[in-house]
Amino acid sequence: MKSYFVLFFLFLSLAASAQQETVTGNGKIKKEKRSTSGTFDEISVSGKYKVLIKQGSTTSVDLEGDENILPFIETEVKDDELQIHTKKGYNVKPTGTITVYVTLPKLSEISSSGSSSFAGEGVIKGDKLEIGLSGKAEMDLELNYNDLELGMSGSGSVKMAGTATKAEVNISGNGEFNAPGLKSQNMELNISGNGNAHVNVDKKLEVAISGNGKVKYKGSPTTNQFVSGNGRVEHEN
């Protein structure tokens, strides 16, 4: 019976894929400006894109990629959130990277499902930033925030620099959080699985590891550690 259900769900997955139309890139690279209705301070991405984020006085969105694929990439604003995804019913195969250039005055949330990459153009500042990454997402940002929350699920890689008064980092899976250049006052760090973190904390560091995770920290904070499994916490002089 178990094998029957496995085969049944495999059939449904294959059937869904078969219903999608594949669009292959023609190699003619084009950059176009997208019109956005209203402002936004959140970014949500589903798929595989390179997202370049810049803080500016107004919001704008530009796309760069194969000219015959761009019409199948949707960028829409709903409830203050910029949503970036492939048009339903289509599967795109670009000849190179599809790049999304995003400018916005305020950034409060980033969520990603898939294998997109995120990079910042200059320092991004604000009060609170929430980041949720699922899959193989990559991120490289320089930040100046009072409150930073990061959740990673999968095998993503995050590099950060700058400052954060308070930071909470949750890693589930094989994620890598490389942030010795991000100086925080207080940090709560939770790792479940084989994740690794390299951090820089001044005052207080709370660490909980379940599995084989490893934490390396700079600074001279007071520490509170709970380790279950083969995890390790090391101080870097």
Give 67-117 pLDDT, tens digit per residue.
999 999 999 999 999 999 999 999 999 999 999 999 999 999 999 999 999
Q: What is the pLDDT of residues 46-61, one digit of tens each?
A: 999 999 999 999 999 9
- Report the SS3 class of residue 131: strand
Residue that terminates a domain, selected from 63, 84, 112 = 112
Q: Which residues pair with 65 in a beta bridge?
A: 30
Residue that terminates a domain, selected from 52, 84, 112 = 112
Is the pLDDT score of 3 beyond 50? no
Q: Taking the model in full, what pTM does it have?
A: 0.91
Q: Do 156 and 97 lie in a common domain?
A: no
Task: Tally the domains of the chain.
Answer: 2
- Provide the domain limits for residue 176: 123-237
**Higher pLDDT among residues 81 and 7, named by residue:** 81
Q: Do 145 and 206 lie in a common domain?
A: yes
Q: Is residue 176 part of a domain?
A: yes
pLDDT of res. 6: 42
Q: Do 217 and 186 lie in a common domain?
A: yes
Q: Do 66 and 143 lie in a common domain?
A: no
Is the pLDDT score of 17 beyond 60? no
Residue 70: C-alpha distances to residues 34, 132, 233 (Å): 10, 26, 46
Q: Do 88 and 174 lie in a common domain?
A: no
Q: What is the pLDDT of residues 109-141, one digit of tens each?
A: 999 999 999 999 999 999 999 999 999 999 999
For residue 208, give the CATH number of its domain: 2.160.20.120
Residue that terminates a domain, selected from 54, 85, 112 = 112
